């Protein structure tokens, strides 16, 4: 119960941060960090994949409602939720942490957490930005936006992970 509450609070905090701060960050149209993806990243290691998918969809849907982009974020978060178990399995460390634990740099090491974050965030941003433009014209322009935004989002997520309170 305590754990559920912890996740509900994380969800609300991340959504509010995204809407009030990160949606307003913009450097000449190239960098749009979407830090709310962190909610999908910190769900427990062994969460059943169908719950993960539903929670991912919900996260994207909430962001969609508040930014008036029906379905765009939902599409990208479901993509991120789908690849997450796969990224974790590709990337297991020797000290495979207990299934209940939330993936973090403290339990699995900074290097592991960074690779894990950057992969999922990249896939999320890739689907998000291309679905948003809905075309492959200007391919490299969009790809550059994906890469720059991925870097900034990853930076903030790793930073938040380091400063986030331990349960």
Partner 1 sequence: MRSLLNFLLRYKTLILFLILEAVALVMISSSHNYHQSVAYGAARNISGFVAKRIENGHSYFRLRQVNQELAAENLQLRRRIEKLETVHKPALTAVGDSASGIRYNYLSARVINNSVNKQKNFITLDRGSRHGVTTGMGVASSTGVVGVIVGVSRNYSVAMSLLNTDFKLSASIARNDYFGSLAWNGRNYRYAQLSEIPHHVVISEGDTIVTSGYSAIFPPGLMVGTLTGDLKKGGDFVTLKVLLSADFKKLTDVYLIGNLTRHEREAVEEEVTNE
Residue ranges in contact with partner 1 by CB under 8 A: 19-20, 23, 25-26, 28-29, 32, 49-50, 53-54, 56-57, 60, 64-72, 74-75, 78-79, 82, 131-134, 138, 141
CA distance 11 to 86: 23
Nearer to partner 1, 108 or 127 (CB): 127
Nearer Cβ to partner 1 (84/103): 84
Residue with tokens 């479901």: 78
- Minimum CB separation of residue 26 from partner 1 in Å reads 4
Closest C-alpha among 162, 167, 166 to residue 38: 162
Residue 65 or 162 with smaller CB distance to partner 1:
65
Please state the closest distance from residue 99 (CB atom) to partner 1, in A. Answer: 17
Please say whether the dihedral angle defined by the alpha carbons of residues 40, 46, 52 and 53, taken in this order, is positive or negative: positive
CB of 110 to partner 1, least distance (A): 29
**Contact call for residues 27 and 83 (beta carbons, < 8 A):** no
Instruction: Tell me if 88 sits within 8 A of 104, measured CB to CB.
Output: no
């Amino acid at each position: 119960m305590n754990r559920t509450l912890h996740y509900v609070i994380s969800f609300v905090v991340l959504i509010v941060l995204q809407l009030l701060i990160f949606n307003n960050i913009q450097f000449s149209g190239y960098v749009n960090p979407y830090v709310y993806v962190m909610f999908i990243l910190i769900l427990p290691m062994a969460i059943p994949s169908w719950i993960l998918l539903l929670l991912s969809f919900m996260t994207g849907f909430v962001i969609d409602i508040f930014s008036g982009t029906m379905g765009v974020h939902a599409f990208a978060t479901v993509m991120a939720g789908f690849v997450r178990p796969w990224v974790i399995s590709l990337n297991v460390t020797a000290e495979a942490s207990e299934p209940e634990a939330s993936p973090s740099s403290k339990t699995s090491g900074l290097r592991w957490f960074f690779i894990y974050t950057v992969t999922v965030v990249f896939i999320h941003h890739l689907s998000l930005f291309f679905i948003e433009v809905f075309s492959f014209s200007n391919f490299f322009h969009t790809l550059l936006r994906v890469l720059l935004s991925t870097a900034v989002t990853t930076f903030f997520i790793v930073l938040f992970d380091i400063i986030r309170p331990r349960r």
